[in-house]
Structure 1
Amino acid sequence: MAQTQPLFVLQVPTAVNPGAQQKPIGSFICTEAAPQVYLLAFSDAPDNRLTPSFNATFLLALDIIEHRLPKGVVITTSSITKFYSNGLDYENAVKDPNFFTGMALINGHAFAGGLMTAMMHDYRIMNPHKGFVCLNELDFGAPLQPAMASVFRVKLNLSTFRNMVLESRRYPALEALKEGILDGVGGLEETLAFVHEMKLAQKAQGKSYGLIKEEMNREIVKDLDEATNAVQVTAAKDLDRSRRDLEAKKRVEDYQNGLGIRSKL
């Protein structure tokens, strides 16, 4: 496929101290892979971690496409061969209260937040020869917030969601396709063929297309809108969980005392 000139290029700045000069550490490059089909390729070494600066640049790129280019289809992919995205930079993500449509071309591993990003797309095509998709929050002790979980509940069957969450199961492309995580396998050529076959660029011109998708994904949108209150909601849940734990321990103590057994709690 012939190389085309970028429609725009955005640099991902590195996190620095206030007042210091920012140096780009990655980029988002947007090209037109086919008429009204926009290929947004990102690269942020070593593995496209979702940092605040990466996410802000991602959102800016999508805003430019939405508000400055004719309506069409967006395909996101990685310029780093091994990874689509290795997920959140978790240590920094938990400090940031403002963490994060079209199609995802998953060229390599998509773990945790990386898979969530792909799931936010309408369709997913993955390289069949390398990479896994995995929701491995369990492995590094991260909770699964409502805004993170709802996209999987809405788009996957319950048993697949359960296996991803409670087993951190890794799915290669063909197995992910069988489970409904993916819509197809291949590279850019196969992705463009999918766009053409499904007439996605034409459908995107419809005035109600976005409204229909918003209604279809109502639960996801609701949880994302309410994510700003996540700290308060989590604190309330923790408080309620502690209360229920204390009540359970009290019931056990009463049971042991009734049997004349010394409590070891």
Structure 2
Amino acid sequence: MSSLISLTKTPLQSPDGTLFIITMKNGENRINTAFCQAMFTILDEIEAFCEEMDGTPAALITTSEGKFYSNGLDLEHALSTPGFFEDYYLALMERFLTFRIPTVAALNGHAFAGGCMLALAHDYRVMRSDRGFLCMNEVDIPSPLLPGMAALVRAKMTPSVYRNCILQGYRFTAQDALDSQLVDVICPEREVLSKAIELATKWSVKASAGEVYRQLKREMYTDAVRFLTLRGSENAKL
């Protein structure tokens, strides 16, 4: 556990299994090295437990405190820290994208740029309907996307939605996100976590596939995984 992130492990009632809830609790939840390290530690713990209990239902939810799910990268830190993108941020996105149990992002607030990508790396998303946006605002910063970032976003969107997202910096409200199939459920803030738990519980039985669940994700998102794991100078090429 850390001051940035906490993990709660609770039993599922039906089916009998385990629900993991990661709560981000650092205001805007800007993503930096410390954030990624804390998240890696928790994901390692969850995977070790799931390997030991192989074949039993399980699911993972991420959520946050406050009005932000995540406001993206700590950009100054990211740009000044050698290896940050390859060793931390892109590695974290690949980890979530191919995690071995079902994952649900419970979006209780804004998810911008790197935070939007974190949400998209999950299998499912629940978004509050009364406030908050999903947005990739790199065109307004302005800042290019690394190949892995672009590939991750592209894998979760139709071509026209991807165009609007990247070239317009479009701010998706909850209804926009639902209509664009970026989220699976929208609801009032007070229901976000409970709806995420319902969704996670429903699909937790698929964790019985074990390592095959991860392999299926790798096959689904071949291009995104390939670009997220590029190294060195190749990571700067589109």
Answer yes or no: is 1:78 the counterpart of 2:69: no
What root-mean-square deviation, in Å, do the aligned CA atoms of Structure 1 and Structure 2 show? Answer: 1.8
Structure 1 residue corresponding to 2:218, chosen from 214, 219, 225: 214
Q: Distance in 1 between matches of 2:44 and 2:88?
A: 16
Residue type matched to 1:53 in 2? Answer: A
Structure 1 residue matching 2:62: 3-state secondary structure: strand
Could you say which residue in structure 2 is the equivalent of 1:94?
Answer: 79
Worse overlay, 146-155 or 89-98: 89-98
Residue 123 (structure 1) shift? 0.8
Deviation at residue 29 of structure 1 after TM alignment: 2.8
Task: Please say if 1:205 is aligned against 2:191.
Answer: no
Cα distance in 2, alignment partners of residues 133 and 76 from structure 1: 16
Return the alpha-carbon distance in structure 1 between the equivalents of residues 147 and 106 of structure 2: 25
State the one-letter code of the partner of 1:192.
I
What pairs with 1:58-69 in structure 2 (closer than 5 Å)? 58-69=39-50
Match of 2:2 in 1: 11
Runs of 5+ consecutive residues of structure 1 not aligned to the other structure: 1-9, 13-25, 238-265
Could you tell me which runs of 5 or more consecutive residues in structure 2 were left unpaired when the two chains were aligned.
90-98
Counterpart mapping for 1:174-213 below 5 A: 174-186=175-187, 187-196=192-201, 199-207=202-210, 208-213=212-217
Q: What SS class does the counterpart of residue 31 from structure 1 fall into?
A: strand
Check conservation: 1:42, 1:77, Cα contact below 8 A: yes
Shift of residue 232 of structure 1?
5.2
Q: How many angstroms does 1:68 deviate by?
A: 2.7
Instruction: Give SS of 1:40's match.
Output: strand
Q: Provide Cα deviations, 1:195-246, integer angstroms capped at 9, x if missing partner.
A: 33xx3111111142221111111111111111x22x4553x77xxxxxxxxx
User: Hey, what's the Cα distance between the residues in 2 that align with 1:32 and 1:138?
Assistant: 41
Residues 17-32 of structure 1 aligned to structure 2 (within 5 Å) = 26-32=4-10
Change beyond 3 A, Cα 1:177–1:33: farther
How far apart, CA to CA, are the structure 2 residues paired with 1:33 and 1:84?
A: 24
Counterparts of 1:42-61 in structure 2, within 5 Å, are: 42-44=24-26, 46-61=27-42
Given the two structures, how large is their TM-score scaled by the length of structure 2?
A: 0.81
- 1:33 to 1:90, Cα distance in 2 relative to 1, 3 A: farther
| Higher RCO structure, 1 or 2 (CA under 8 Å, sep 6+) | 2
Question: Which amino acid is 2:24 matched to?
Answer: F
CA contact (8 A) 2:9 2:18 kept: no
Partners of 2:213 and 2:205 lie apart in 1 by 10
Tell me how far apart the structure 2 counterparts of residues 182 and 166 of structure 1 sit (CA, whole Å): 20
Aligned length: 208
Residue 88 of structure 1: SS of its match in structure 2?
A: coil
Question: TM-score, structure 1 length as denominator?
Answer: 0.74
Q: Give aligned-pair identity as a percent.
A: 33
What secondary structure does 1:182 align onto? Answer: coil
Structure 1: which 4+ aligned runs deviate by more than 4 Å? none
Distance 2:7 2:199 in 1: 22
1:33 Cα offset (Å) = 6.4
